[in-house]
Amino acid sequence: MIEPACDADLDDLVGLLVAFRDYLGQSRPSAAEFRDSLRILLKDPDTEFLMAQNFDGTPLGYAQVRYRYSAWIPGLGAEIEDLFVLPFARRQGVGLELAESVTGRARRRSCRVIGLNTNERNEAALSLYQRLGFTAERASWNGSRQLWLEKCIEPA
């Protein structure tokens, strides 16, 4: 079952984000930092969390989606910031259900594009996203792949 997360899901979301952080081999953010961030993000109308749960309410995974208007579309776009399924629940269609739910909700918000980034070696994720029609190719720029670049900076 896929449902939008709310304040009552805070503990489950923190657990899922910590599991994702650990899966990535990172030590930060801390659970407390995730909790503080989630308290803010759950109130943000341009951010949405979807949670996947089994029949008894056990969390299986989540997706975080950000919505924003872009002059380049022009219109509203969605970005899947995270899509994570706990290891024991993988290969059971949970990721597919999450991705399809995100796409459906973005369509209902009249988004004109939905994007995400993933590691090029994450074959399972790439396979899922490609089955759903995501691509790194843009014919309008000589068929080359788009790259997501970022730089970490320290606050002033």
Per-residue pLDDT at 32 exceeds 80:
yes
- The dihedral through the CA atoms of 91, 125, 13, 53 has a sign that is negative
Six token digits for residue 144: 């080359």
pLDDT of residue 129: 87
At 25 the pLDDT is: 94
Average pLDDT over every residue of 142-148: 74
Q: What is the pLDDT of residue 128?
A: 87
Long-range contacts formed by 131-134: CB under 8 A, 24+ apart: 131/96, 132/96, 132/99, 132/100, 132/103
pLDDT of residue 15: 98
Radius of gyration of the chain (CA): 16
d(CA 128, CA 114): 15
Cβ pair 93, 118 in contact under 8 A: no
pLDDT at 63: 98
Report the mean per-residue pLDDT for the chain.
Answer: 91
Class of domain 2-141: alpha beta
pLDDT of residue 140: 66
Dump pLDDT digits (tens) for 91-124. Answer: 999 999 999 999 999 999 999 999 888 888 888 8
pLDDT at 155: 78
* pLDDT at residue 143, rounded to an integer: 72
Write the CB contacts of 5 (distance below 8 Å, at least 6 apart in sequence).
12, 13, 42, 49, 50, 51, 62
Strand partners, 9: none
Residue 59, pLDDT score: 97
Stated pTM of the model = 0.88
pLDDT reported for residue 103? 93
Structure tokens at 152: 């970490």
Whole-number percent of the chain with pLDDT over 90: 70
At CA 80, angle to CA 78 and CA 81, rounded to 5? Answer: 120
